[in-house]
């Protein structure tokens, strides 16, 4: 089970780093949304500080996950981002929800596996 957690933590970290860095460098192909409202909303986020801030948080959390430092902190930092990614796709772009669900499920599973670290919060 520990090897599974290690692999899932590194996969989530790499996903976050790649998509976080992409928010600054744009090396991945641009996303084309079927719903024009999704494109408008995403464009508004991209033209402000919001997407860059999310990208920075993704890179930091991803890096922490990959190097296995402050993992519970990184997972909690990622929680609102993963929820919002899913909500965006549920409401505006249901066709692209697959990767969003993957990130959400990985984050949720890893939080569950580190639950002892969060007991003092509750």
Per residue of the chain (122 residues), what is the pLDDT tens digit?
799 999 999 999 999 999 999 999 999 998 888 899 999 999 999 899 999 999 999 999 999 999 999 999 999 999 999 999 999 999 999 998 999 999 999 999 999 999 999 998 88
Domain assignment of residue 96, yes or no: yes
For CA atoms 30, 34, 37, 38, give the dihedral sign: negative
Report yes or no on 6 lying in a domain: yes
Name the domain count of the chain: 1
> Is the pTM above the cut of 0.95?
no
Residue 121 lies in a domain: no
122, part of any domain: no
Residue 42: inside a domain: yes
Q: How many residues does the chain have?
A: 122
Residue 19 in any domain: the answer is yes
The pLDDT of residue 36 is 92
Return the closest-CA partner of residue 21 out of 62, 71, 64.
62
Q: Which domain holds residue 73?
A: 2-26+35-116
């Amino acid at each position: 089970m520990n090897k599974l957690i290690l692999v899932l933590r590194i996969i989530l970290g790499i996903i976050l780093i790649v998509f976080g860095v992409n928010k600054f460098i744009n090396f991945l192909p641009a996303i084309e949304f079927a719903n024009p409202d999704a494109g408008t909303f995403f464009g508004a986020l991209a033209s402000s500080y919001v997407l860059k801030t999310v990208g920075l948080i993704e890179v930091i959390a991803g890096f922490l996950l990959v190097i296995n430092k402050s993992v519970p902190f990184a997972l909690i930092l990622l929680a609102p981002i993963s929820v919002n990614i899913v909500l965006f796709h549920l409401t505006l772009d249901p066709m692209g929800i697959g990767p969003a669900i993957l990130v959400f499920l990985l984050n949720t599973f890893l939080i569950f596996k580190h639950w002892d670290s969060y007991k003092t919060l509750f």
